[in-house]
Amino acid sequence: MPTPLLFKIHHKSKENAARTGTVTTPHGSFRTPAFMPVGTRATVKGLTPEQVRATGSDILLNNAFHLMLRPTDKRIAEFGGVHKFMNWHRPILTDSGGYQAWSMADINTIDEDGVTFKSIIDGSKIRMTPERSIEIQNNLGADIIMAFDDCPSSVEPQSQNLARRRHALTVRDGKMTGQQHASRLLQSLDRTACWLERCDAAHQKKDIQSLFGIVQGGVDLELRARSVEQICNIELPGYAIGGVAVGESPEKIAEVVKFTAKLLPEEKPRYLMGVGYERDLVTAVASGMDMFDCVLPTRNGRNAHAFTKKGPLNLRNACFVDDLGVIEDGCTCSSCATGNSRAYLRHLYMSKEMLAGILVSIHNIHHFQSLMIDIRRSIEDNSWSALPNRWPVLHSP
Amino acid sequence: MPTPLLFKIHHKSKENAARTGTVTTPHGSFRTPAFMPVGTRATVKGLTPEQVRATGSDILLNNAFHLMLRPTDKRIAEFGGVHKFMNWHRPILTDSGGYQAWSMADINTIDEDGVTFKSIIDGSKIRMTPERSIEIQNNLGADIIMAFDDCPSSVEPQSQNLARRRHALTVRDGKMTGQQHASRLLQSLDRTACWLERCDAAHQKKDIQSLFGIVQGGVDLELRARSVEQICNIELPGYAIGGVAVGESPEKIAEVVKFTAKLLPEEKPRYLMGVGYERDLVTAVASGMDMFDCVLPTRNGRNAHAFTKKGPLNLRNACFVDDLGVIEDGCTCSSCATGNSRAYLRHLYMSKEMLAGILVSIHNIHHFQSLMIDIRRSIEDNSWSALPNRWPVLHSP
């Protein structure tokens, strides 16, 4: 059966592993490298689909775990799928909910077959297996769906607070010895590979939905290589790197991504999950990654953090009280272009007005999309090295 | 000096005192009868100016009291006025903040000259006089500004909870005998008239801002007549009825408005403050009122209350969980026109997502603007009596 996802590479950088391309799905296409805003519960927080679209976004991400709990995947299937439900008629990717099953719920059991956990909504017991995760995502109907994987745990207690992002290595089953932990990591890799086979076998809508496999392995490059071998052994429309940006240094992220990306099939889109800040994205693109998602533009936007080419602004700061400038001179986002001043935005934040987070979320997503446009241009113009001149934030430590 | 406000009456109903017209201000014109959404702190909660505009709104209301406290009227003056500050370049009306000085702050003293109260932001002492209120409103720069009046208090403790709307008659200075209260009411009328003279004398921007006087008098028709005489004794571009919709029955509101409206100058716009539900608006228009403001569309929108021609819906109700219909069939608001279903909106409310209140606020303001359009057409077509056929909500008790 032909894949419903076409990936055409347009240009490969002469300076590094970066490439530009177009991914075409049943709901339209998007240019790569691509940034996907996060719309966890079938809404990019505070923005209408028209406003999301106006930021230059072509594809967004929903979370299968949250939508399975409410309004339920069955209901969304009856509604005709998540595109229609949330009124976004362009490409959508759903995260499998694997990580959320661990991070957001009390796990009762985890075994070879799957996970049983308590609902965050009503405490009811929910069983999640690779088959059920794919059924949920088949019901939701996103263009790209993600494998359900086994997320092993870190033995370092100090990393627990940091391990809030997808596929963190967190321990919930008590302390382990180093030997036990190494053994658990290997078990999780094998289980993830086994579960991917089951995901692929369970996938009922290969004609309209494309399943991506997820490579794990933490910061251990040997484990990453082993995971790539296992995951790419299954022929799929695309592959993702999970388990990064869980508190490692930017250098460590860069090392893992650079090492892993080049092992992934060149002709398939490569998706780096949950990353990140501007510099992380640029570094990952240079390593050959094509797709990204991150909550930073919206979550930080709600917290008065505005991204600019020169670095972030905290719009609650008193220095903005009389600042009549827009967030960023020359910015073409609908917030800056209509003249909303830093002073006005600060007033809205201080007054706890919803519009503050809305306008700055719009600006921030537009900022990330502008970076992606410039990244693509830099690849196609062979002017990669000039990118940091236009984006001074890439210089900051 | 010529007034910067032109009021042209287009058509007078043959069936009642209703009329259509156009008010022209330095920031453009609006058709009357007109409904003004409320943007207390220089933002209609959750909506961009473009979204407010798309509901069919031509003029909105800001609150001088809130903006004086934050970001301060002086700052807004330095920014070039509230239109520029909030990025709304059409007509704006500012409420004087008279009522808020009483309802939202601890009053320390009230005397012939003005009021001293504590800031709701930092507890600092603030002195408000008619002169200061007009200075604030001159600084804000709205097209229409309101007089600062003395709001007397009701002796009935049971009405205190209801007295949350502008110019309620609330007691803060303890119990009064009936005789004391009657005397206080008379004092407040005389003081309001005296303060209006001072407002008019203090008004520095008669070339670009139009001061409206406010008639008080509660539900006592004799006092209303006396107040009209006092207030209209001062030649102003428009007049308002304050102190209604503070918990009276719709019949009582209708009686007071009908009695008072016909005493106001016919050639000037007549503004009924803080009213109200659809039936209250229609009744007031029939009595000859031209302008309205109310928080209902936005406040109720945030609380899952959607207005329809057939009456309100509570979108949190379980009956909407599988309802694929839009809020109202045939509605042309941007929420309904793009197909957002009741099921989706319910999901957003249950998930505490900001977008719920945003989409329903858009629908609700559009609902009120559609009613005003239909009211104006009914007046001009002499088909007033057919209005309730198209708006069944007008029949409900």
Report pLDDT digits (tens) over B235-272.
999 999 998 877 778 899 999 999 999 999 999 999 99
Helices (H) and strands (E) in chain A, counts: 15, 16
Interchain proximity B86–A344, CB inside 8 Å: yes
Which of A51, A344, A354 has the CB atom closest to B85's CB atom?
A344
Contacts of A360 (CB under 8 A, 6+ apart): A301, A302, A304, A305, A306, A315, A327, A335, A345
* CA–CA distance, A184 with B8 (Å, rounded to integer): 81
| B164: confidence class by pLDDT, cuts 50, 70, 90 | very low
Q: What residues in A contact B359, CB-CB < 8 Å?
A: 48
pLDDT confidence band for B397 (50 / 70 / 90) = low
CB proximity list for B322: less than 8 A, separation 6 or greater: A75, A78, B343
A339 interaction partners in chain B (CB closer than 8 Å): 84, 87
- Which residue from A minimizes the CA distance to B326? A85
Q: Do B321 and A75 touch (CB under 8 A)?
A: yes
Residues in chain B within 8 Å Cβ distance of A47: 355
How many angstroms separate the CA of residue B48 from the nearest CA in chain A? 7
| Whole-number Å distance between alpha carbons of B103 and B65 | 11
Report the pLDDT value the prediction gives residue B229, as an integer from 0 to 100: 98
Task: Transcribe A234-301 into DSSP letters.
Answer: S--SEEEE-S-SSS--HHHHHHHHHHHHTTS-TTS-EEETT--SHHHHHHHHHTT--EEEESHHHHHH
**ipTM metric:** 0.94
Out of B41, B49, B321, name the one closest to residue A71 (CB): B321
Answer whether residue B175 shows pLDDT above 90.
no
User: Could you tell me which of B100, B182, B109 has the C-alpha nearest to residue B149?
Assistant: B100
Instruction: Look at B45 and A324 and tell me if their CB atoms are within 8 Å.
Output: no
A364 and A47 Cβ atoms separated by less than 8 Å = no
Q: Which runs of E-coded beta strand occur in B226-298?
A: 238-241, 270-272, 291-294
Say whether pLDDT at B100 is over 90.
no
Q: Reply yes or no on whether A95 is catalytic.
A: yes
Read off the pLDDT of residues B277-302 as tens digits, 9 standing for 90 and up: 999 999 999 999 999 999 999 999 99
Of the candidates A45, A70, A353, the beta carbon closest to that of B41 is on A353
For residue A195, the Cα-to-chain-centroid distance in whole angstroms is 21
Tokens (6 digits) for B199: 């407002």
Selected for mutation to probe chain B from A79, A354, A360, A361 (highest B CB count within 10 Å) is A354
- Residues with pLDDT less than 70, chain A: 1-2, 101-102, 104-105, 152-176, 397
| Gap from B394 CA to chain A (nearest CA, Å) | 31
Among candidate residues A58, A95, A143, A280, the one labeled active-site is A95
- B51, B339, B353 member nearest A43 (Cβ): B353
Write out chain B residues lying below 8 Å of A338, CB-based.
Answer: 48-50, 87
- The answer to whether B33 touches B376, Cβ cutoff 8 Å, is yes
Q: What is the pLDDT, as a whole number, of residue A397?
A: 64
pLDDT tens, residue by residue, B336-361: 999 999 999 999 999 999 999 999 99
Contacts of B346 in chain A (CB under 8 A): 71
Q: What does the pLDDT average to over B66-81?
A: 97
Interchain CB distance below 8 Å, A354 and B353: no
Reading the block at residue B51, the tokens are: 């979204």
Task: Name the active-site residue from B95, B143, B149, B290.
Answer: B95
B95 is catalytic: yes
The torsion angles phi and psi of A286, rounded to 5 degrees, stand at -65, -25
Whole-number pLDDT of residue A100: 73
Distance CA A27, CA A279 (A): 30
Å between A331 CA and nearest CA of chain B: 17
Q: Would you call A206 exposed, middle or buried from its count of C-beta atoms within 10 A (0-12, 13-18, 19+)?
A: middle
Report the candidate in B256, B250, B248, B258 with the shortest Cα–Cα distance to residue B289.
B258
Which of the 8 DSSP states describes residue A30? E
Side by side, the strands of the sheet bearing B19-25 are B6-12, B19-25, B28-32
Phi, psi of B150 (to 5 degrees): -95, 120
Q: How far apart are CA A247 and CA A218, in angstroms?
A: 11
Q: Indicate yes or no: CB of B355 within 8 angstroms of CB of A49.
A: no
Taking an 8 Å cut-off on Cβ atoms, the answer to whether A85 and B341 are in contact is yes
pLDDT at B167: 36
Tell me whether residues B42 and A347 touch, CB distance under 8 A: yes
Pick from B75, B87, B354: which is nearest to A338 by CB?
B87
Q: Which of chain B's residues have a Cβ under 8 Å away from the Cβ of A120?
A: none
The one catalytic residue in A73, A149, A150, A293 is: A293
pLDDT at B157 over 70: no
Q: What is the pLDDT of residue B3?
A: 73
Distances in whole angstroms, Cα of residue A201 to Cα of each of A194, A205, A229, A234: 11, 11, 19, 11
Contacts of A75 in chain B (CB under 8 A): 321-322, 343
Strands of chain B (E only): list them.
6-12, 19-25, 28-32, 34-37, 60-63, 92-95, 107-110, 115-118, 125-128, 144-146, 210-215, 238-241, 270-272, 291-294, 305-306, 313-314
CA nearest A216: which of A208, A225, A207?
A: A225
Q: How far apart are CA A51 and CA A297, in angstroms?
A: 14
